[in-house]
Amino acid sequence: MNLDIPKLKSIGKRVSYPKNFQLVQKGERCQKCWIIEKGIARYMYLQEEQELTGWFDLEGDIVGSVYSLLGLGGAREKIQLVEDAELIEIQLVDIQKDDAYFQNFKMNVMSHYFIEMENRLKLFQSLDGKGRYLYLLENKPQLLQRVPLHMIASFLGLTPESLSRIRSAIS
């Protein structure tokens, strides 16, 4: 992303939250965003009472509801911390004070999410479960070391049992 991160950090404040803390509830109009300095955030969706993992953000990433940021309404997902986390918490109203900066901020966040979503779509359309796991192993190995396997399985569109078989076959 092409953002002025020092400016964002100067607007926000340092906070620490424990593992499993909910940053955003589904349907909530999010008034904040965060920069992860330490930790992982998980974006979750409910489908037929089953939690599905749609996304993970890591150190250096900006966390928050894109829908709220764009003024489209409440969050479409729940965002929860996977680990104890240290974050820079930023009130959106404070970014909006500088309209040119806010417009640039929104454009950069949207561009980042668009590229990530396009990559994820291609990943699911072109690779089987084993291929998706190998892609994750090659491109985001830190997730495999720090995130529980049932969350990884959900992110990859697999059952925990299928992921276990894939991992056993590769080892």
Residue 1, pLDDT above cutoff 70: no
Residue 98, pLDDT above cutoff 60: yes
Q: Exposed, middle or buried: residue 82 (CB in 10 Å: 0-12, 13-18, 19+)?
A: buried
The pLDDT, as a whole number, for residue 57 is 93
* CATH topology classification for 5-98: Jelly Rolls (2.60.120)
Smallest Cα–Cα separation from 168: which of 129, 141, 111, 140? 129
Query: What pTM value is reported for the model?
Result: 0.88
Residue spans of the domains in the chain: they are 5-98
Strand partners, 16: 86
The pLDDT, as a whole number, for residue 153 is 95
The pLDDT, as a whole number, for residue 58 is 93
Confidence of residue 82 (pLDDT cuts 50, 70, 90): very high
The pLDDT, as a whole number, for residue 2 is 66
Residue 150, pLDDT above cutoff 60: yes
Interval 121-134: pLDDT, tens: 888 889 999 999 99
Rg value, the chain, Cα: 17
Interval 160-169: pLDDT, tens: 999 999 999 9
Interval 32-80: pLDDT, tens: 999 999 999 999 998 888 889 998 999 999 999 988 888 888 999 999 9
